[in-house]
Amino acid sequence: MQLRSLRRGAADDSGGRPGTFASLRIRNYRLYALGQTTSVVGNWMQNIAVGWLTLQLTHSGTLLGVVTGTRYLPVLVLGVWGGLVVDRHDTRRLLTLTQSCSAALAALLTALSWAGVMTLPLLLVLMLATGLTNVFDNPARQSLISELVDREHLPNAIAVNSTFVNTAKLVGPGLAGVVIAALGVTPCFALDTVSFVAVIASLLMLRSGEMYPAEREERAAGQIRAGLAYICRTPQLLRPMAMVYVTGMLTWEFPVSLPLLTTSGFGAGPAAYGAAMACMSVGGVIGGFAAMRRRRHLGTRSLSWSAVIWGALICAAALAPTLPTALVILVFVGSGSITFNSSAKTLMQMEAVPQMRGRVMSIWSIGWLGGTVFGAPAVGAIGAAWGARSALLVGGLAAAGIGLAVLARSLTDRTP
C-alpha cells in the first residue's frame, strides 16, 4: 500500500488530480529532477564561457554563430537515428553513458583552456562532439521522464522539469558572468564538469522496481521510416510537430532577435540584452508554475491557442515604443514560450506509443533545436534587411500563423 501511494504521488482536493509539485513526491523523479537541474546550471555556465572564449579567440560575431551552429548540426542531421537508438536501448543506461561522455568533453575543454592551447579548430571539434552526444542525450532525457512517473503525473513532471530548467537558466548565466569577471572562462568549464556528477549519481540511484519501462523495439529494417510514417498518420502528433518546427525555426531565435532589438532597435548596450534574457527567464519560471497547476486536458486546440497567444505577445514586444515596455512584455513572452513548449512535449509524449516515443521526441528535437542551424541565419538576415524589430516580429507572426492554421484544421475535423 505504501509503495502504491508513493508511485501515485500526491493529489490535491479537486478530484484526485496531481497537485502543483506532485511529481516531486515520487522518489525517482525527484532524484532525476534535482540532478538534472544542477547539470543545467553547469551547462549554461559552459555556454556563456564558450561564447566568451570564441570572441576572445576570433573577435568575430560571425564565427560565434558558426561555433553555435556546429553544436546543433548533428541533431539536425542525425536526430531521427538517435531517437531510434533510444527506442532500442535501456534509457537510463544510455543517458548515463551520454552524460559521462559530456562530462569527459567538459573536462577536456577545461584542460585545454587551462593550458592556454585552445584554438578555434579545437573548439569546433569539441562542439561537434558535444552535438553528437546530444543526438542521443536529448531524446533519452525526454523519454526517461515518462519512465519515472505514471501517466497521471506526466504533464506535471514535464512542467516541473521546464520550471527547473528555466530557473537554472537564470542562475547559470549570472554565475558564469561573476566567475568569468573574477577568474576567467576556465573555472566555468571546470564547474560544468563537476555538475555532471550530480545527474550521473541521480541516474545510478534510481530504483528500477519503481520505474515504468517502455517496450523496446527489436532491430529491423525501415524503423526510421516507420517512425516518420507513424507521426504522419497520427494527427495528434503531426499537428503539434508542425507547430514545433515552424516556431523552432523562426520564433525560438531569441539569441539573434533580442540582441538586434535591444541594440539596434532601442540603441541600448549589452546590459539591455542581459536584462531582456533575464525577463524571459523570469517569465519562463512563472509559465512553468502555471503549467504545473494545469488541470484541463491537453489537446491540439489548446496548444494552438497557446501558439497564437505567444505569437501575439512576441509581436507586441517587437512593436513596443520603449525598452522598459518591451522588457515588461518579454516577461509574458517567456511565460508563453514555456507554456507552449511544455504543452507540446507533454502532448506528444502522452499521444505516442511507448515503443515510438524515442523517435517522436528526437524528431521534436530536430525541429526545436536543429532548426536553429537554418533559422538563426534567416532571422538575422531578415533583421539586417528590414530592421531590428522585424527579426522578432517575424517570429511572432510565424507562431500566431501556424497556431491559427492548425486551430482551423482541428475545428474543421473536430479534433480536440
- Helix (H) or strand (E) holding 265, with range, is none
Q: What is the pLDDT of residue 73?
A: 87
Question: DSSP letters along 327-389, please?
Answer: HHHHHHHHHHHHHHHHHHHHHHHHHS-GGGHHHHHHHHHIIIIITHHHHHHHHHHHHHHH-HH
Residue 94: pLDDT band by 50, 70, 90 thresholds?
very high
- Domain C-terminal end among 169, 187, 211: 211
- Domain C-terminal end among 185, 211, 237: 211
Is there a single domain that holds both residue 206 and residue 75? Answer: yes
Is there a single domain that holds both residue 129 and residue 253? Answer: no
Is there a single domain that holds both residue 95 and residue 203? Answer: yes
Is there a single domain that holds both residue 261 and residue 147? Answer: no
Is there a single domain that holds both residue 179 and residue 270? Answer: no
Is there a single domain that holds both residue 352 and residue 277? Answer: yes
User: Is residue 6 domain-resident?
Assistant: no
What would the pLDDT profile of 352-369 be if each residue is shown by its tens digit?
A: 888 888 888 888 888 887
Quote the domain boundaries for residue 354: 227-416
- Domain C-terminal end among 186, 211, 236: 211
- The mean of the pLDDT values for the chain is 85
Q: What is the pLDDT of residue 261?
A: 87
- Helix (H) or strand (E) holding 320, with range, is none
Non-local CB neighbours of 15 within 8 Å, separated by 6+ positions: none
Is a pLDDT exceeding 70 seen at residue 219? no
Which letter does DSSP use for residue 151 in this model? G
User: Is residue 75 domain-resident?
Assistant: yes
What would the pLDDT profile of 119-134 be if each residue is shown by its tens digit?
A: 999 999 999 999 999 9
Is there a single domain that holds both residue 298 and residue 344? Answer: yes
Instruction: Report the number of distinct structural domains present in the chain.
Output: 2
Is there a single domain that holds both residue 313 and residue 376? Answer: yes
Confirm if 32 and 95 have CB atoms less than 8 A apart.
no
What would the pLDDT profile of 127-173 be if each residue is shown by its tens digit?
A: 999 999 999 998 898 889 989 998 888 888 887 887 787 778 767 87
Confirm if 217 and 340 have CB atoms less than 8 A apart.
no
Largest CA distance in the chain: 65
Q: What is the pLDDT of residue 4?
A: 37
Domain CATH for 174: 1.20.1250.20
What would the pLDDT profile of 264-288 be if each residue is shown by its tens digit?
A: 889 887 677 778 878 888 888 888 7
Q: What is the pLDDT of residue 70?
A: 85
Is there a single domain that holds both residue 257 and residue 396? Answer: yes
Which letter does DSSP use for residue 35 in this model? H
Is a pLDDT exceeding 70 seen at residue 85? yes
User: Is residue 279 domain-resident?
Assistant: yes
User: Is residue 354 domain-resident?
Assistant: yes
User: Is residue 162 domain-resident?
Assistant: yes
What would the pLDDT profile of 309-321 be if each residue is shown by its tens digit?
A: 999 999 999 999 9
User: Is residue 221 domain-resident?
Assistant: no
Q: Single out the residue of 36, 286, 32 nearest to residue 168, CA to CA.
A: 36
Is there a single domain that holds both residue 194 and residue 331? Answer: no
Burial 397-411 (b: 16+ CB within 10 A, else e): bbbbebbebbbeebe
Is there a single domain that holds both residue 241 and residue 300? Answer: yes
User: Is residue 218 domain-resident?
Assistant: no
Is there a single domain that holds both residue 273 and residue 158? Answer: no
Q: What angle do CA 9, 87, 145 make, to 5 degrees?
A: 20
Between residues 189 and 48, which one has the greater pLDDT?
189
